[in-house]
């Protein structure tokens, strides 16, 4: 991305004259390759190359943002001109728009992945309907009176359904996997596919009522994303507001939001306001910790209040404080011991959706399948259902004795809030939650 | 690279088998939440190309030069051959893109209406109103060159209801085709934010079910894949599902004269005389069925290829009754005022589940709020038991508009 830095500061300077004003230029270039797979064959391909630029001004509770879909100096001039006009400040003179600079996109190929996927799918899930996506997102943030920052992420997703065999015959199962591109990701994907394709027993509808559950395989990350990340986003009002440093869970529980974990889907080197992220302890030895924050124009000069969680879905969106990667510290309990302690209940190792209502603190998590646990042993396969509860109540009922290993939960990939969808992920050990309301969706 | 050069390149790659789409849009959005006020101006341009070589390929970019590059790179992967659609033809000149009107500043009035409607129990916490206009143009290998302009005012409002230590949040999307309908929005927000605060469960296990227009719109949106024949639903093919005088129609003529593939928009009766009517088709479905496209190639953005979908669904009846009359016809039952979870429609297995908050009704009179109730069962039975409809009310974004109406369903089970 080649914006002239002197032009950027020239346009930002009149927007951030006062100490309480924030102004920045945000540039994004996004390339995406998408392959639609059906039964081992690519049936459609998509290639997109889109870009956008936004100039933002903020003071106190007022914010203005102008976004255009070109990232050159003409786009910067156009957006700045519109913003300065909206603020009634010295308007940038009109200049004839230069033609777009041409096709200057970084090479991005999906061929290596296509060949790997062909072999992987043939072996583990030959009958499928999948969508594979490789997205490269390049961002540049230039704040007024602060150093600029750039970031580049390559994210891979595989989503869809496949036919697996089970004791009752063929079964269509959903599969979802998200991760940043790395040397080991293909192996992880292969292992995840192999696990997902394992044969299952015939399911029975999930019994309804209050039950104790083990959230296993890292899926507890979805629970903490809903009950800690969202309520602790800067500005959110929830049952956790006003309980700063209060003990709300067992002392063994340590949960942090760690955007610096670049091996997870939600990681980044700098947030969308140009601030380097810091890991934030959401729960420190069972006590409520800090909040996820973005830049605050009201902060005293020289005092940065942001912990690097100002995130945007795209250039046309203003940054909001959002979570990134929920990381739960492991304990020291074995899987067998957890099963023994649960005694009766459900073993759930996949959650495919979640939501939280912040005002009341009630949340819901959807699971596609579960195993019943009887006398500390896994028994019947259960069909899909919903888990429901209330934030403070469920935090109190998380039992001491967390699993000794943390598992990355790759099916968690995206989070939507106010129409803005950003990548997120998390890892968590197996843990027991007592007294969740369970409802069957069979 | 000019559009002409792009079409030449596409013709060279896929003679007679390409389509080029242009979109230009401007919008203005105002968001107010507590003391925060933000205003966003967006201006976007994009292009997309589809071609069959003979494999189906798609590329999109923000300008011609980038699209030309994306087209070359999209040829990288081997793709199995696809079926080329029959292209529509025609011409319609490009209109001029006029600036979007600023969104109306109705925050204070809506806040006042929400407070009054809820007797102070609910507070408006956020209102976002977006006003936008677009120009779209489709050119294809058969000589089609049509362009059109469209505009919409959409947004969402959020409110929090409080009673003692309990609270409930409501987030309600809206779409205004005409003047802002604030009383209706305020009522929906209040109902969703305050009715769940009552402790009362459903007092009836079986009875009549009166659906508020937004709830009926959610039912229609859940049924939409049925009209596209995306799911096999043998139960729907049997017929006798809706009263003969009730039909379901899709007609987006008031939104745009063409669909995302350049086919002229038309009115399609998708459910009539108790059974499925004409299916909705885009170019691919038309080719598959050996029929014509009904103009239902939906393009939510230039970044995605057009897909088959409903564009503006609504109920229609020969004998509409005013909502008050429908309420008077409820002997014992529930008025579903707002959904508290998404309406689940399992079209393959003929099942539905709706979780809602509302009001108990006996002999046409409201008896008090019901915090939450659930109705589930066979979709076919639900449709069969729709006995009366009010005239179509407002449209709800889903994300394409779906027009709701007050609907009376008889003999439904609740839990």
Measure CB to CB from residue B82 to each of A43, A61, A100 and give the nearest one. A43
Token pair for B409: 């369903």
Distance of alpha carbon B401 from alpha carbon B313, whole angstroms:
7
Mean pLDDT for B15-37 is 94
Contact criterion met (CB < 8 Å) for A103 and B66: yes
Give tens-digit pLDDT for A264-323: 999 999 999 999 999 999 999 999 999 999 988 666 555 668 999 999 999 999 999 999
A&B contacts, CB < 8 Å: 155
Contact criterion met (CB < 8 Å) for A114 and B77: yes
Give tens-digit pLDDT for A115-159: 999 999 999 999 999 999 999 999 999 999 888 999 999 999 999
Contact criterion met (CB < 8 Å) for B168 and A114: no
To the nearest whole number, what is the mean pLDDT of chain A? 92
Residues B255 and B160 in one domain: no
Residues B124 and B253 in one domain: no
Distance of alpha carbon B106 from alpha carbon B127, whole angstroms:
9
Residue A94 has pLDDT above 80, yes or no: no
Token pair for A90: 């010295």
Residue in chain A closest to B82 (alpha carbons) equals: A43
Query: What residues pair up with A310 in beta bridges, in sequence order?
Result: A321
Residue in chain B closest to A65 (alpha carbons) equals: B40
Contact criterion met (CB < 8 Å) for B38 and A52: no
pLDDT at A116: 95
Residue A240 has pLDDT above 60, yes or no: yes
Determine contact, residues B123/B163, Cβ cutoff 8 Å.
no
Contact criterion met (CB < 8 Å) for A102 and B65: yes
Residue A91 has pLDDT above 70, yes or no: no
Query: Looking at B197, B213, B236, which one is the last position of a domain?
Result: B197
Query: Looking at B171, B197, B223, which one is the last position of a domain?
Result: B197
Contact criterion met (CB < 8 Å) for B68 and A67: no
pLDDT at A26: 97
String of DSSP letters for B72-93: HHTTSS-----PPPPPP--EEP
Question: Helices (H), strands (E): how many in chain A?
Answer: 7, 25
* Mutation target vs B (from A1, A34, A46; most B CBs, 10 A cutoff): A46
Residues B265 and B189 in one domain: no
The residue ranking higher by pLDDT, B392 or B302, is B302
Distance from the Cα of A85 to chain B's closest Cα (Å) equals 11
Phi, psi angle pair for B22, to nearest 5°? -120, 140
Q: Is A344 exposed, middle or buried (0-12, 13-18, 19+ CB in 10 A)?
A: exposed
Distance of alpha carbon B234 from alpha carbon B350, whole angstroms:
9
Token pair for A228: 């800690």
Contact criterion met (CB < 8 Å) for A69 and B57: no
Q: For chain A, how long is the longest CA-to-CA vector?
A: 77
Residues B285 and B147 in one domain: no
Residues B243 and B182 in one domain: no
Mean pLDDT for A11-22 is 87
State the ipTM, two decimals.
0.91
Q: How much of chain A, in percent, has pLDDT values that exceed 70?
A: 95
Distance from the Cα of B45 to chain A's closest Cα (Å) equals 6
Mean pLDDT for A183-195 is 95
To the nearest whole number, what is the mean pLDDT of chain B? 93
Residues B240 and B155 in one domain: no
Residue B231 has pLDDT above 70, yes or no: no
Give tens-digit pLDDT for B196-216: 999 888 899 999 999 999 999
**Residues B257, B260, B263, B266, CA torsion sign:** negative
Q: Can you give the three-state secondary structure of A5-20, one letter per residue?
A: HHHHHHHHHHHCCCCC
Contact criterion met (CB < 8 Å) for A67 and B344: no
Nearest to residue B353, comparing CAs of B364, B344, B361?
A: B344
B199-202 long-range Cβ contacts below 8 angstroms, 24+ apart: B199/B371, B200/B360, B200/B368, B200/B369, B200/B370, B200/B371, B201/B370, B201/B371, B201/B372, B201/B373, B202/B334, B202/B360, B202/B370, B202/B372, B202/B373, B202/B414, B202/B415
Distance of alpha carbon B287 from alpha carbon B90, whole angstroms:
19
Give tens-digit pLDDT for A53-63: 999 999 989 99
pLDDT at A136: 97
Lowest mean pLDDT among A13-22, A73-82, A212-221, B175-184: A13-22
pTM of the predicted protein model: 0.93
- CATH number reported for the structural domain that contains residue B99 in this entry: 3.30.2290.10
Contact criterion met (CB < 8 Å) for B59 and A46: yes
pLDDT at A357: 94
Q: Is A68 on the interface with B (CB under 8 A)?
A: yes
Phi, psi angle pair for B216, to nearest 5°? -65, -35
Nearest to residue B275, comparing CAs of B241, B243, B245, B249?
A: B241
Residue A147: count other Cβ atoms within 10 Å of its Cβ: 8
pLDDT band at A202 (very low <50, low <70, confident <90, very high): confident
Measure CB to CB from residue A41 to each of B42, B73, B80 and give the nearest one. B80
* Mutation target vs A (from B43, B68, B374; most A CBs, 10 A cutoff): B43
- List the 23-62 stretch of A: residues with Cβ below 8 A of B: 33, 35, 41-52, 61-62
Residues B52 and B11 in one domain: yes
Residues B348 and B228 in one domain: yes
Mean pLDDT for A228-251 is 93
Token pair for A366: 């959807």
Is the peptide bond preceding residue B179 cis, with omega within 30 degrees of 0? no
Residue B160 lies in domain? 3-197
How many structural domains is chain B composed of? 2
Determine contact, residues A205/A382, Cβ cutoff 8 Å.
yes
Residue A347 has pLDDT above 80, yes or no: yes
SS3 state of residue B194? helix
Distance from the Cα of B320 to chain A's closest Cα (Å) equals 35
Distance from the Cα of A339 to chain B's closest Cα (Å) equals 32
The residue ranking higher by pLDDT, A168 or A244, is A244
Residues B20 and B158 in one domain: yes
Residues B255 and B361 in one domain: yes
Query: Looking at B177, B197, B217, which one is the last position of a domain?
Result: B197
Q: Is A86 on the interface with B (CB under 8 A)?
A: yes
Q: Is A172 on the interface with B (CB under 8 A)?
A: no
Measure CB to CB from residue A48 to each of B35, B59, B82 and give the nearest one. B59
Residues B203 and B299 in one domain: yes
* Mutation target vs B (from A57, A69, A209, A236; most B CBs, 10 A cutoff): A69
Sort out which chain B residues have CB atoms less than 8 A from A62's CB and list them: 36-38
pLDDT band at B237 (very low <50, low <70, confident <90, very high): confident
pLDDT at A16: 87
Token pair for B85: 């659609």
The residue ranking higher by pLDDT, A320 or A106, is A320
pLDDT band at B1 (very low <50, low <70, confident <90, very high): low
Distance from the Cα of A317 to chain B's closest Cα (Å) equals 8
Mean pLDDT for A6-31 is 90
Mean pLDDT for B273-289 is 91
pLDDT at A300: 58
pLDDT band at A103 (very low <50, low <70, confident <90, very high): low
Residues B236 and B193 in one domain: no
Determine contact, residues A206/A440, Cβ cutoff 8 Å.
yes
Distance of alpha carbon B152 from alpha carbon B101, whole angstroms:
10
String of DSSP letters for B15-45: TT-EEEEEEEEEEEEEEEETTEEEEEEEEEE
pLDDT at A301: 55
């Amino acid at each position: 991305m080649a914006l002239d830095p002197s032009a950027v500061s020239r346009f930002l300077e009149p927007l951030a004259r006062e100490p309480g004003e924030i102004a920045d230029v945000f540039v994004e270039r996004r390339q995406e390759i998408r392959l639609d797979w059906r039964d081992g064959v690519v049936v459609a391909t998509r290639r997109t190359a889109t870009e956008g630029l936004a100039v933002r001004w903020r003071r106190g509770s007022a914010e203005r943002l102008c976004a255009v879909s070109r990232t050159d100096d003409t786009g910067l001039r156009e957006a700045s001109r519109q913003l300065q006009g909206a603020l009634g400040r010295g308007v940038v003179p009109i200049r004839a728009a230069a033609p777009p600079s041409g096709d200057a996109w970084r090479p991005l190929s999906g061929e290596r992945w296509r060949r790997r996927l062909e072999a992987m799918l043939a072996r583990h899930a030959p009958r499928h309907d999948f969508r594979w996506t490789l997205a490269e997102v390049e961002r540049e943030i230039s704040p007024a009176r602060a150093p600029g920052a750039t970031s580049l992420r390559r994210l891979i997703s595989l989503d869809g359904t496949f036919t697996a065999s089970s004791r009752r015959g063929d079964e269509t199962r959903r599969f979802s996997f998200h991760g940043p591109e790395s040397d080991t990701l293909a192996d992880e994907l292969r292992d995840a596919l192999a696990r997902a394709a394992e044969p299952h027993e015939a399911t029975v509808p999930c019994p309804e009522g209050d039950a104790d559950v083990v959230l296993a395989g890292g899926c507890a990350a979805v629970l903490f994303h809903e009950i800690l990340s969202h309520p602790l986003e800067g500005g959110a009002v929830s049952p956790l507001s006003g309980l700063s440093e209060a003990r709300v869970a067992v002392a063994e529980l340590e949960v942090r939001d760690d955007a610096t974990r670049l091996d997870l889907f939600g990681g980044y080197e700098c947030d969308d306001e140009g601030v380097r992220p810091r890991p934030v302890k959401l729960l420190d030895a069972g006590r409520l910790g800090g909040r996820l924050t973005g830049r605050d124009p009201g902060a005293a000069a020289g005092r940065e209040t942001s912990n690097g969680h100002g995130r945007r879905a795209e250039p046309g969106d203003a940054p909001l404080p959002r979570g990134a990667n929920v990381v739960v510290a492991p304990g020291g309990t074995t899987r067998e011991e957890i099963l023994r302690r649960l005694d009766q209940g459900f073993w759930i190792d996949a959650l495919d959706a979640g939501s939280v209502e912040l005002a009341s603190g009630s949340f819901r998590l959807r699971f596609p399948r579960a195993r019943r646990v009887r006398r500390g042993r896994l028994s019947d396969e259960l069909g899909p259902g919903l888990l429901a509860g209330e934030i403070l109540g469920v935090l109190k009922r998380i039992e001491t004795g967390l699993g000794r290993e943390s598992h990355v939960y790759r099916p968690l990939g995206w989070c939507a809030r106010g129409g803005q969808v950003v990548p997120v992920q998390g890892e968590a050990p197996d843990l027991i939650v007592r007294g969740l309301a369970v409802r069957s969706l069979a | 690279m000019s559009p002409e050069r792009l079409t030449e390149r596409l013709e060279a790659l896929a003679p007679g088998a390409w389509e080029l789409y242009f979109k230009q849009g401007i919008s203005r959005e105002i968001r107010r939440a507590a003391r925060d006020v933000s205003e966003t101006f967006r201006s976007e341009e994009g292009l997309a190309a589809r071609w069959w070589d003979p494999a189906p390929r798609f590329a999109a970019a923000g300008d011609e030069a980038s699209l030309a590059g994306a087209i070359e790179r999209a040829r990288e992967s081997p793709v199995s051959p696809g079926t080329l659609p029959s292209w529509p033809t025609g011409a319609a000149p490009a209109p001029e893109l006029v600036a979007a009107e600023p969104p109306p500043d109705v925050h204070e009035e809506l806040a006042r209406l929400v407070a009054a409607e809820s007797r102070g129990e609910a507070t408006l916490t956020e209102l976002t109103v977006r006003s936008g206009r677009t120009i779209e143009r489709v050119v294809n290998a058969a000589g089609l060159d049509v362009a059109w302009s469209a505009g919409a005012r959409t947004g969402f409002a959020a409110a929090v209801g409080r009673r003692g230590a309990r609270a409930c949040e409501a987030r309600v999307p809206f779409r205004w085709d005409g003047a802002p309908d604030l009383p209706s929005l305020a009522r929906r927000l209040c109902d969703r934010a305050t009715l769940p605060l009552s402790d009362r469960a459903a007092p009836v296990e079986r009875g009549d079910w009166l659906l508020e227009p937004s709830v009926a719109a959610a039912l229609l949106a859940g049924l939409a894949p049925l009209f596209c024949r995306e799911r096999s639903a043998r139960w729907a093919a049997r017929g006798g599902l809706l009263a003969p005088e009730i039909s379901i129609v899709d007609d987006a003529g008031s939104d745009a004269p063409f669909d995302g593939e350049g086919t002229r928009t038309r009115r399609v009766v998708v459910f009539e005389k108790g059974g499925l009517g004409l299916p909705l088709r885009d170019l691919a479905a038309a080719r598959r069925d050996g029929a014509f496209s009904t103009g239902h190639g939906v393009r939510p953005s230039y970044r995605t290829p057009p897909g088959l979908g409903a564009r503006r669904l609504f109920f229609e009846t020969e004998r509409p009754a005013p909502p008050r009359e429908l309420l008077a016809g409820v002997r014992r039952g529930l008025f579903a005022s707002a959904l508290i979870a998404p309406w689940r429609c399992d079209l393959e297995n003929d099942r539905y589940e709706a979780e809602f908050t509302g009001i108990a009704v006996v002999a046409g009179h409201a008896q008090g709020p019901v915090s939450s109730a659930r109705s589930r069962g066979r979709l076919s039975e639900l449709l069969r038991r729709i006995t009366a409809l009010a005239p179509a009310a407002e449209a709800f974004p889903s994300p394409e508009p779906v027009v709701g109406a007050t609907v009376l369903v008889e003999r439904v089970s609740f839990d």
